[in-house]
Amino acid sequence: MSWYFDFSIFITYLVIGLTLSFILLGLSFILSPKAPNKEKLSAYECGFEPFEDARIKFNIHYYIIAILFIVFDAEILFLFPWTVGFSLNFWYSYPLILFFLIILTLGFILE
């Protein structure tokens, strides 16, 4: 087996994946209903009407929720690799993750 064979498997996988993605995207665009109604045009989870001026004032609570989501999303992102390394070197990884969680908790309290 040569490097050409390994590369051709990657290209085949890439072509099949892209082809399937474009076919499914096209089918969803063609087959989806396109009749906007009052419910579809109403405000959704953001709390204000979508077709107003972009410079209107709204509650800062939406920003806080978004920042908290990013903080906890980053926490999960860094905790997954730690669980793998935890079993390999307990005395090194435990204080590091404890320090990370303390900084994260302080940021949460500040928020």
- The DSSP result for 14-71, as a single string, is HHHHHHHHHHHHHHHHHHS-----TTTTS--SSSS-TTS-TT----THHHHHHHHHHH
Residue, of 12 and 39, whose pLDDT is higher: 12
Query: Taking the mean position of all CA atoms in its chain, how far away is CA 13?
Result: 24
| Length reported for the chain | 111
User: For 7, phi and psi rounded to 5 degrees?
Assistant: -70, -35
Provide the pLDDT for residue 27: 95
* Structure confidence at residue 47 as a pLDDT band (50, 70, 90): low
Is this structure's pTM higher than 0.85?
A: no
**What are the C-alpha distances in Å from 84 to residues 8, 73, 76, 97, 98?**
33, 18, 13, 12, 15
Provide the pLDDT for residue 44: 63
Residue with tokens 């978004």: 66
pLDDT digits (tens, 9 = 90+) for 51-101: 656 666 777 888 888 888 887 887 778 777 777 766 677 787 788 888 888
Cβ(108)–Cβ(71) under 8 Å?
A: yes
Provide the pLDDT for residue 4: 67
